[in-house]
Amino acid sequence: MITFFRSVKNYFSLVKFSHTVFAMPFALIGFSLAVSRDEYDFSIRLLLLIILCMIFARNAAMGFNRLADRRFDALNGRTKNREIPSGVIGIRSAAAFIIINAILFILTTAFINRLTLFLSPVALLIILGYSLTKRITALCHFILGLGLSLAPIGAYISLTGTFSILPLIYSFIVLTWVSGFDIIYALQDDEFDKSNQLHSLPSATGRKKALAISILVHIITFVMVLFAGIIGNGRYLFWSGAVIFTSLLLYQHRIVKHDDISKVTLAFSTTNGIASILFAVFVILDLFLRFR
């Protein structure tokens, strides 16, 4: 039994399960946007299926990322102790984990509706393909953002079976927000990426310019949050959440400098995790109190 729990812990560590806080809250926003429409009712069944889809898809994506990058992780002092390069999880076990989660993701979408099932291979292609884009383009951060941006619109489609402008705006918020903070995260490996023919904006442009691009991308995030509030007729709870969310965006740029990246982990993980959760809570409460 102890061995089993240790194994589960290792796989949780492999996929950084705690980082689910980045996209999951926005999936719940997408679901809530659908429920707020008069023609759709709250469904615990669909909510649980959406959560399972998020977990399976992310497990497959992160597992593939770790498997694809195992050679580079072994060479990088920051990542050499990760589960695959350190031998805690074998290559075959990791591959099986990825395949199982990918299959479970597709099977789960089949229980939602036909459109989610048809789109599931496309979603997998995007979220798994991100890992390979680091080998060919410095714009890989935006592919990661695109992958996570599927959360709100995917959750919305799960309930409605249709596209709509407001959940698409939330998807664009996720795309720019994640892309911006992934650029910050990549500051840690700029020299390693250069020497190993890997691509990132910090390695391509230097830390100072990369941070400037990250700021610009997060300004776009701020503008999209404004659009979401205006188009969605957000009230005081929405705008309170928007202020908190954008303030935390600003905060991470204040604590990370091109000549001091000691607080990258605080900016990347803690700050953005809190921002996502609080923003979702305020947005969902705003929707609930207006339509119930």
Report the CATH number that the domain containing residue 30 is assigned in CATH.
1.10.357.140
- For residues 16-25, give the mean pLDDT: 78
Position 78 in a domain: yes
User: What pLDDT digit, counting tens, does each position of 196-237 carry?
Assistant: 999 999 999 999 999 999 999 999 999 999 999 999 999 999
Query: 122: domain range?
Result: 21-291
Q: What is the pLDDT at residue 291? A: 59
Q: Confidence class of residue 38 from pLDDT cuts 50, 70 and 90?
A: confident
If one counts the domains in the chain, the total is 1
Position 16 in a domain: no
Position 88 in a domain: yes
Position 217 in a domain: yes
- For residues 115-142, give the mean pLDDT: 94
**CA 225 vs CA 8, 48, 124, 180, 253: distances in Å:** 37, 27, 27, 15, 18
Position 1 in a domain: no
Of 149-163, 213-227, 250-264, give the range with the top mean pLDDT.
213-227
Position 5 in a domain: no
The C-alpha atoms of residue 222 and residue 177 are separated, in whole angstroms, by: 9
- Residues in contact with 100: Cβ distance below 8 Å, sequence separation at least 6, in sequence order: none
Position 8 in a domain: no
Position 15 in a domain: no
Q: What is the pLDDT at residue 14? A: 74
